[in-house]
Amino acid sequence: MNQFQAPPLTKLNKGILIATGVCFLVASILKAIGAFSLVSVLGLSASGLFHGLVYQLVTYPFVEVQLMSVLFNGLVVWFIGSELEAQWGTKIYLRFLLIVVAAVGLIFTLVNLVFFFGTPVYSVSLHGLSGINFALLIAYSLLFPDRQMAFMMIFPVRARTFCWLLAGIEAYLAIFSSFSASWAHLLAMGVSFLMIHFQTNAVVRNVLHASWKPSSAGKARGKKHLYVVKDEEQKPPKYWQ
């Protein structure tokens, strides 16, 4: 009988989880003693960026304020992130994350600055690992479309179907609810989709400083590259069965 085996937690993802855990602990302590909110300092907002808090473009993913978000987002970073890092290598994986974080942050703040200046939305902070996780899940579903995933941790569906379900849920929340972060999550999905879909484009390759195109020389040297797994028998899942 096949048993589930979690992938090894890589150093980069371990660092992400440690930073998130520390920020969550600090935020909880500050809230308990009635001090300032860590989200207002490290979370990303158009107001903060306008006032020169550029570091928020890097720190906002690490700020979580709910325990369940820390747990579930941490598991996605561990399982999905570690799988992708093992396939791509640490350099490409890190650059992928940085591009997603920077692109989403800049677009989010630019839209709020241009269209919502002087309104309460202008000061709304974007924070948490959810954006990164949605980007990772989209990348995973594009590279391994036929792998089985558990929707709502119960219903088995193909990764491609899982991807569309997530996108549909976030689109509904973005349009019909006041959950403004859903727009940022959709942006993260879009950036991830474009990078994977146009992975052989010269601009994408130059940005990542590595070629994702398969080559016989690369295979001989054992280099990692992206590829789409169309048949599970072609390359069985390493950690999901």
Q: Mean pLDDT, the chain, as a whole number?
A: 80
- Residue 217's H or E segment, with its range, is helix 216-221
Spatial contact of 148 and 240, defined as CB atoms under 8 Å apart: yes
Residue given tokens 């690369």 in the structure block? 218
| Per-residue pLDDT band at 239 (split at 50, 70, 90) | very low
As a whole number of angstroms, the distance between CA 141 and CA 151 comes to 13
- The answer to the question of residue 232 being in a domain is no
- The answer to the question of residue 230 being in a domain is no
Identify the top-confidence range among 55-59, 111-115, 225-229.
Answer: 55-59
Q: Return the bridge partners of 158, or none.
A: 148
Spatial contact of 77 and 7, defined as CB atoms under 8 Å apart: no
**Average pLDDT value for residue range 39-50:** 88
**Number of domains observed in the structure of the chain:** 1
- The answer to the question of residue 55 being in a domain is yes
Q: How many CA atoms lie within 13 A of 93 on its CB side?
A: 21
pTM here is: 0.79
Spatial contact of 74 and 20, defined as CB atoms under 8 Å apart: yes
More confident residue, 70 or 177: 70
Q: Return the bridge partners of 44, or none.
A: 126
Domain membership of residue 171 as a residue range:
11-221
Q: Is 50's pLDDT higher than 80?
A: yes
- The answer to the question of residue 160 being in a domain is yes
The per-residue DSSP string of 136-200 comes to HHHHHHHHSTTSEEEETTTEEEEHHHHHHHHHHHHHHHHHHSS-THHHHHHHHHHHHHHHHHTTT
Spatial contact of 61 and 44, defined as CB atoms under 8 Å apart: no
Tell me the CATH number at 133. 1.20.1540.10
